Amino acid sequence: MLSEFLDTSDEWITTRTGIKTRHIITEERFEDLATEAAARAIESAGLCPDDIDYIICSNVSNLYVTPHLSSIIMGNLGMKGPLCPTMDVNVACLGFVQGLDLGDALLATGRAHNILLVAAEECTRFCDWTDRNCSVLFGDGAGAVVLTKGDNLIARKFTTTPMTDVIVYKNPMEATPFESGEGIDTHSPLVMKGREVFRMAVTSAARDIAQVTASAGLTLDDIDHFLLHQANLRINEAIRENLRQPEAKFPTNVQRFGNTSSASIPLLLDEGVHEKRIKRGDKILMSAFGAGFVSGIAILEY
């Protein structure tokens, strides 16, 4: 389908990225996708929406700049305010892992007890579909979890390297009557320096994963599952080879979903739990990277 309107091929996409299929929003409403993930997570936790006392939503790409998506999800869940705080975070593809850290801090201080963390992305609507460098890589998706005390992080590390030109997308803005309108730095479709991102992703993971594991008093052999951000199979292969850990510990789904930004790790987690590969007590290391350039790692005992 893509090669009908882009100068690309299944062979190029498969060998360079591992991606075979991706899901693209068409007639559906994005907020319904996010709400469905949230509702399923709440049900799996044996709770009802009114038990939730904090909602965090990780989101990069969304029609609404305001109101924020977590308030829309709250309403769609049938929760009638005034209720708990809602907050969106935008830390690119790292948003879910960063949201876990935020949730962990809220639980630790007793400020919240049942936190709904949703990661929902419609990346395909911010791609320039005439640009083969970006559009073949992305898919849409949503994942969610409920965090309660006991789901604490064992260790984490988050870093930002201010290289703001490696992945850029600018929203449309209006020109004010007080300027000529010429040269206004407004909307630009997604532009990405793919090779640079590839290099940064592998380097930051290689630098930090072993270090964070050691800081938790663990070895890499103690980690049961490495849930890596799903952007490119070759990136994940390079990280795995660097860590010299068995392939079975590195589940992948980028082949089926493409890069769903911050939704990719909760999608992996959900598949692992439902297929009973991930069990209570397992140690899970999550590692993600994205525009900024940001990189983050968190270890969780499930």
> Under the rule (CB under 6 A), what is the footprint of ligand COA?
8, 12-13, 16-17, 93, 132-133, 136, 167, 192, 194-195, 197-198, 231-232, 259, 290
Q: Which of 225, 229, 232, 236 is catalytic?
A: 229
Q: Which residue is nearest to ligand COA (CB)?
A: 194
Bin 207: left if φ > 0, else alpha if -120 < ψ < 50, else beta: alpha
- Annotated catalytic residue: which of 93, 123, 127, 134? 93
Smallest separation (angstroms) from ligand COA to the CB of 212: 20
Q: Is 259 a catalytic residue?
A: yes
Residue 198 or 302 with smaller CB distance to ligand COA = 198
Cβ proximity to ligand COA: between 73 and 231 the closer is 231
Nearer to ligand COA, 11 or 27 (CB): 11
Q: In whole angstroms, how close is the CB of 17 to ligand COA at the nearest point? A: 5
Nearer to ligand COA, 197 or 263 (CB): 197
- Please give the Cα distance from 286 to 266 (Å, whole number): 10
Residues 160/293, Cβ–Cβ less than 8 Å: yes
> 82: cis peptide before it, omega within 30°?
yes
d(CA 88, CA 187): 22
Q: Which of 86, 164, 92, 158 is nearest to 121 (CA)?
A: 92
Residues whose CB is less than 8 angstroms from the CB of residue 56 and which lie 6 or more positions away in sequence, other chains included? 70, 86, 87, 88, 89, 99, 102, 103, 115, 116, 117, 118
Which residue, 42 or 127, has its beta carbon nearer to ligand COA? 127
* Active site annotation includes 114: no
Task: Sort strands 283-290 and 167-170 into parallel, antiparallel or unpaired.
Answer: unpaired
* Closer by beta carbon to ligand COA, 126 or else 302: 126
Q: What gap in Å lies between CA 179 and CA 228, rounded to an integer?
A: 46
Measured CA to CA, the distance from residue 283 to residue 278 in angstroms comes to 9
Q: How far is the CB of 22 from ligand COA (least distance, A)?
A: 13
| 229 flagged as catalytic | yes
Smallest gap from Cβ 170 to ligand COA, in A, equals 17
Contact 300, 156 (CB under 8 A): no
In the set 59, 62, 114, 259, the catalytic residue is 259
Q: At 175, which amino acid appears?
A: A
Q: Smallest distance, Å, CB 298 to ligand COA?
A: 17
CB of 51 to ligand COA, least distance (A): 33
| Axis-axis angle for helices 30-44, 69-76 (nearest 10) | 60
Helices 264-274 and 95-108: angle between axes, nearest 10 degrees = 70
Residues marked active site are found at 93, 229, 259
